[in-house]
Amino acid sequence: MSDESTGSGVQDLSRRDLLKLAAGAGVVGGSGALGWQFLQSGPDAPTETLPPEEARALAETYAPEVYFDSHEKWYPTDPRPYESDRDGETIVDGFTALNDYTKAAESSEQPPDPAVFYNAVAYEDSPLAVVQFWLYSAFDQFTTNFHWHDWEVLHVFHDRETEQPQLYVASAHGRSVPNNEFLDPEPSAQPRILTELASHSSGLSLNERADSFQRISLGGDIADITNLTVDGLESIGELPIAYGLPRDESFRLPYSVPELDGAPVYQDDRLPAVGQDSLVDDSLTVGDFSQLLSPPSGLPERETGQLFSFEGDGDVTYELLPTTELEHISEFTGPQLSFEFTIPEFAEDRIAGHITTAGTPWKDERYEKPAADITEPVHRAELARRYDAIAEPSGASRLVAAVGQTVQDTDAPDGEGVTTEEPTVETVALVESEPTAVPSFNGVIVAQDVPEGDHRLTVNGPGYAPHSEQVTVEERGPPTVAGVDGTIALPARENAVKLGVDTEGTDADLETLAVEDDFGGRLYDAPLDGPDAVYVDRNGAYTTEVVDSDGERGAFRVNPGEEESRTIERPDTGAASLAAFVADVSSETATSVRDAADIEGDSDDDYQGGQPDASGVKGLAQALEAASDAARRAAEQAQKGDRGGTDQRLETARARLADAAERLAEARGDLPETVGNAVEKRLEQGTRRARQAREAGKL
């Protein structure tokens, strides 16, 4: 190892230089997977336990301050009071821990047995050591990832020669979520953990405001994470990729009630001390997401409650204990808890997102291989530069998307166009292959270590209709981007219409399904394998497109209005389908023009010599109706297998649409602005589909 690699890195390479170097060298693209077997190119060096005195000194040096939410129920505690014997093994039962902790907390002014446990290891033949702080809580109630017991960890990577901290790694929401990490903290920067309510996910706070999370640098304050930005999502800009505290940022996420055997846990006879008020406060809780018709507003922001510290001015002083005092415990047990996820397939299915327990730290690979918890590849790359004991990062799988909310577009007529805005609450995503759900942060979903292959991604949000799509993840290369251009658009449940596609009876081997709105553009585009469905906003006017294995398209007009659901039967592809769509959208537009201008149709409203016999709005309506008639005839010829007749009538329809586009300019003054906007959008859609019909190889 070179001399400079033993340094703290502060004088060798600044964080700003490091990030520039990583971006320029292509370190970021496709990296960042959680889990050692994916993130590192080879094995790290083995570790050995530090001598007790040195471990204790290191633990006392970095013992964190821990800030809790004012609504917190389950503080870090010593699990030993809840031990029991099972077939000669010492276990901690979930029912016992939750019930007895609740009883103890209600009878005491202070949280019961406050404790933080530490484990310290050093890499062989290296000055790099790591002290880990393990925090145990009796229960976790974070939306869909609730479970008995909860273990969170903070890793402090420390250079024993220079006595300088190298990297802080604070655990986020499980192994599929990017952790909160800070490279090269100041030597005097005592680790501060901001614990997310009920989930105990650990945000870091190193800025001047001790009890706040700051994702980016503002007003001279440093950012609390040095992770890189999301790669592959232009729509979200420069957003460092790590889970923060949604109630400390601009977004919110309500909590749900965990169920056991189909009933809330507080109704279980094995939990006599646990009542509804023993869980997260009602002001932050919903029974399940489907109870809400729209995303909730007015959720309380995060407020700091109690401060735990080892030494200092905290509200609670915790005991700092070695994990060796707990290693006789073989298991933390408890039955499965669940929460239902709705998948908007053609036949609605439900799946449960759950984990049974949080595991046992001393059986976790991170216990002896703490670098396995580094989720930012550029941090691993820098540690590898400094220390031979750490392996270089390698490419790995990552699935990313940004979530948006569809609402009525003010430039469109009422109920005839939507736009996508930023959501006001966080959402939860489930990848089919994973047993745990992934929360969004600032509206962004990042799932790491997703196995290579085909998956179904489902996104649920409080008050939103669910979204589901098939995605194909590659182990190497850039991140897999879900949604359309990286955005998944969710309608509010009160405005949601289920748009289904029944493929039974169709002659086409359909491969993809897409839905686009006249104003909002493409909102859904994903592989299709058999019947499927997607929720859309009833305020939109949609074109549903299918593509078969030969690349042939089919298009279908959907104006949901007050319908609760709509199913497209036998969505065939080819010229007949596309021509019928042109006929439908042209007729629909002509009707809206006549209705807006209060113009009646009559027998004289025919083209004379290829030209409408009226100008202005009436001439526009006539041109659209003529286009519809020609397109309808083209569809009939296509169904008969007459290529020449089909193309001739499609050319006529295209010419009539071009004429309508010219007449729109002179008619705009007599039409409401929103109607004129809609006519323009639909003319573009009709013209594009007429061209596709002419180019179609299949009639």
Is 195 in a helix, a strand, or coil? strand
Mean pLDDT, residues 279-304 taken together: 85
What whole-number distance in Å separates Cα of residue 43 and Cα of residue 580? 61
Compute the distance between CA of residue 274 and CA of residue 292 in angstroms, rounded to an integer. Answer: 26
Question: Cα–Cα distances in Å, from 223 out to 113, 182, 188?
Answer: 33, 9, 16
Query: How large is the average pLDDT for residues 504-529?
Result: 94
- Structure-token match 């800070």, residue found: 182
d(CA 680, CA 660): 9
65-79, 92-106, 610-624, 678-692: least confident range: 610-624
pLDDT computed for residue 16 by the predictor:
36
DSSP three-state, residue 36: helix
Instruction: Give the 3-state secondary structure of residue 49.
Output: strand
Question: What is the C-alpha separation between 344 and 433, in angstroms, rounded?
Answer: 18
Identify the pLDDT of residue 29.
26
What's the confidence (pLDDT) of residue 188? 82
Beta-strand (E) ranges in 70-201? 83-86, 89-93, 115-123, 128-140, 147-159, 164-170, 180-183, 192-195
Looking at residues 130-142, what average pLDDT do you find?
94
Q: pLDDT at residue 389 above 90?
A: yes
- Kindly give, in sequence order, each residue whose CB lies less than 8 Å from that of residue 498, ignoring residues fewer than 6 positions away: 344, 465, 533, 534, 535, 564, 565, 566
For residue 219, the model assigns a pLDDT of: 74
- Whether residue 624 is predicted with pLDDT greater than 70 in this model: the reply is yes
Residue 607's pLDDT band (boundaries 50, 70, 90)?
Answer: low
Q: Looking at the predicted structure, is the pLDDT value of residue 267 above 60?
A: yes
Rounded (10°) CA dihedral 297, 302, 305, 307: 160
Mean pLDDT of 465-493: 89
Burial class (CB in 10 A: 0-12, 13-18, 19+), 593: buried
**Token pair of 246 as six digits:** 């949604």
Residue 434, pLDDT score: 64
Would you place residue 21 in the very low, low, confident or very high pLDDT band (cuts 50, 70, 90)?
Answer: very low
Q: What is the 3-state secondary structure (H, E, C) of 526-574?
A: EECCCCEEEEEECCCCEEEEEEECCCCEEEEEECCCCCCEEEEECCCCC
Here the tokens at position 377 are: 């590849």
> Can you list the pairs that 184-188 forms with residues at least 24 positions away whose Cβ atoms lie under 8 Å?
184/8, 184/9, 184/10, 184/15, 184/226, 187/8, 187/163
Flag whether pLDDT at 384 surpasses 70.
yes
The top-scoring range by mean pLDDT among 155-169, 184-198, 497-511 is: 155-169
Taking CA atoms, 493 is separated from 383, 456, 496, in Å, by 47, 21, 5
Determine which helix (DSSP H) or strand (DSSP E) holds 259, and give its type and residue range: strand 259-260
> What band does 511 get if pLDDT is binned at 50, 70 and 90?
very high
Q: Which stretch of DSSP H or E encloses residue 418? A: strand 418-421
3 state SS for 430-445: EECCCCCCEECECCEE
For residues 129 and 160, the answer to whether their CB atoms sit within 8 Å is: yes
Distance CA 82, CA 94 (A): 9
pTM for the model stands at: 0.86
Is the confidence at residue 692, as pLDDT, over 70? Answer: yes
Q: How confident is the model at residue 436 (pLDDT cuts 50, 70, 90)?
A: low
H helical segments located in 337-396? 365-368, 377-386
Within 8 A by CB and 6+ apart from 265, the residues are 98, 257, 258, 259, 271, 274, 279, 337
The pLDDT, as a whole number, for residue 270 is 95
**Percentage of the chain modeled with pLDDT above 90:** 62
Q: What rounded mean pLDDT belongs to the chain?
A: 87
Q: Which two tokens stand for residue 591?
A: 């009707």
Residue 3 reports pLDDT greater than 70: no
Quote the pLDDT of residue 18: 34
What pLDDT score does 22 carry?
Answer: 36
Over range 280-304, report the average pLDDT: 85
Type of residue found at 509: D
| Whether the predicted pLDDT of 572 surpasses 80 | yes
- What is the pairing mode between strands 496-502 and 565-569? parallel
Residue 581 pLDDT greater than 60, yes or no:
yes
Q: Is 328 exposed, middle or buried (0-12, 13-18, 19+ CB in 10 A)?
A: exposed
pLDDT at 230 over 80: no
Highest-confidence segment of 116-125, 454-463, 523-532, 592-601: 116-125
User: What is the number of other CB atoms lying within 10 angstroms of the CB of residue 52?
Assistant: 11
Indicate the pairing of strand 418-421 with strand 398-408: antiparallel
Q: Hey, what are 254's tokens?
A: 């309500």
